[in-house]
């Protein structure tokens, strides 16, 4: 599903440049649940941004579902993001003047799905995250956990090939974190490929594979026995 070869990325900081990713190689197969771990500054967010086509690598190859991601203009990148990728952010990033339902329907709108079909689909995904009753509420009327579940529903609505989550539990307390992880595991059980960036060990343990990043290189990549979040909820 995801194939990365010798990925390099550096940022210019005034006169000196900061080499953030120093040759990353890894592949992710369909249906995997991968945690990318590392301390701050290890390059894990940069890697996720490049995977999410929000940022461009300096050199190296990146294939997503056998499509080379290279030399894209913004319009093309937007199309690919919409079709292939779903994003979940640490700070939820819901649009706060739109209701939960409208937020979930947004990616479908960009796919030019008809209004009625859009509403139905969005409602279906809201139902999957257990927030059907909250459809007409604005984000600021929801709790943190609820917001993140709306965000997950939104990411899933476009039926992406890969779900990218940047510290999805970073702003939540542990009980809510486990609820969210439970949801993510269930989505993974349905066969969806998911990448999670986190620095919390217990969250990483709930994935199926942990990739450890340090100073821009992968120092460890191991499959683990998944801890189900269900038991903590």
Partner 1 sequence: MFSRDRWKEIIEVLTSNWFRTVLTAFGVFWGISILIILLSAGKGLENGIKQDFGDIATNTMFMWTRSTTKAYQGLPMGRRFRFKIEDVQSIRNNVPNLRYVSPRNQLGGFRGGNNVVRGLNAGAYNVYGDYPEIINQDPMTVTSGRFINYNDINDKRKVAIIGNGVRSDLYDKDEEVIGTYIKIQGVNFLVVGTYKKKSNNGDGEEGQKEIYVPFTAFSQAFNQGNNVGWMAITAHDGSSISSLKEGIINVVKTKHKIHPEDNRAVGYFDLYEQYNRVESLFGALKAVAYLVGIMVLLSGIIGVSNIMLIVIKERTKEIGIRRALGEDPWSIKKQILMESIFLTIISGMAGIIFGSLFIYIVNTILDAVGPVDMFINPSVNLGVVVVALLILMVSGLLAGFIPAQSAIKVRPIDALRTD
In the complex, the residues that contact partner 1 under the rule CB under 8 A are 49, 52, 54-55, 74-75, 78-83, 85, 87, 89, 93-95, 97, 106-107, 109-111, 115, 154, 158
**To the nearest whole angstrom, how small is the minimum distance from the Cβ of residue 87 to partner 1?**
5
**To the nearest whole angstrom, how small is the minimum distance from the Cβ of residue 107 to partner 1?**
5
- Residue nearer to partner 1 on the CB measure, 82 or 226: 82
- Residue nearer to partner 1 on the CB measure, 151 or 211: 151
Instruction: Using alpha carbons, list the distances in angstroms from residue 159 to 42, 117, 141, 145, 148.
Output: 30, 14, 26, 22, 17
User: What six digits make up the tokens of 59?
Assistant: 């050199």
| Radius of gyration of the CA atoms of the chain, in A | 18
**To the nearest whole angstrom, how small is the minimum distance from the Cβ of residue 96 to partner 1?**
8
**To the nearest whole angstrom, how small is the minimum distance from the Cβ of residue 118 to partner 1?**
9
User: What six digits make up the tokens of 89?
Assistant: 């952010």
- Residue nearer to partner 1 on the CB measure, 109 or 232: 109
Q: Exposed/middle/buried for 183, CB within 10 Å: 0-12, 13-18, 19+?
A: buried
Helical ranges in 37-85 per DSSP H: 44-51, 74-84
- Residue nearer to partner 1 on the CB measure, 2 or 229: 2
- Residue nearer to partner 1 on the CB measure, 185 or 192: 192
Nearest to 53 by CA among 31, 34, 74, 38: 74
**To the nearest whole angstrom, how small is the minimum distance from the Cβ of residue 158 to partner 1?**
7
């Amino acid at each position: 599903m995801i194939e990365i070869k010798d990925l390099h990325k550096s940022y210019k900081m005034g006169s000196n440049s900061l080499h953030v990713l120093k040759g990353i190689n890894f592949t992710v197969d369909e249906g995997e649940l991968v945690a990318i771990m590392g301390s701050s500054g290890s390059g894990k967010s940069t890697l996720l941004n490049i995977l999410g086509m929000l940022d461009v690598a300096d050199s190296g190859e990146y294939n997503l579902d056998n499509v080379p991601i290279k030399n894209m203009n913004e319009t093309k990148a937007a199309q690919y993001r919409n079709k292939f990728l779903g994003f979940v952010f640490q700070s939820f990033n819901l649009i706060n003047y739109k209701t939960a339902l409208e937020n979930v329907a947004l990616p479908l709108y960009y796919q030019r799905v008809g209004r009625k079909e859009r509403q139905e689909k969005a409602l279906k995904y809201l139902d999957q995250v257990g927030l059907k009753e909250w459809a007409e509420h604005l984000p600021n009327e929801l709790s943190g956990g609820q917001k993140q579940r709306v965000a997950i529903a939104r990411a899933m609505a476009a039926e992406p090939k890969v779900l990218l989550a940047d510290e999805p539990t970073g702003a939540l307390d542990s009980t809510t974190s486990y609820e969210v992880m439970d949801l993510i595991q269930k989505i993974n059980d349905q066969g969806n490929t998911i990448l999670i960036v986190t620095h919390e060990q217990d969250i990483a343990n709930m994935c199926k594979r942990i990739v450890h990043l340090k100073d821009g290189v992968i120092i460890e990549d191991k499959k683990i026995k998944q801890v189900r979040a269900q038991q903590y909820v």
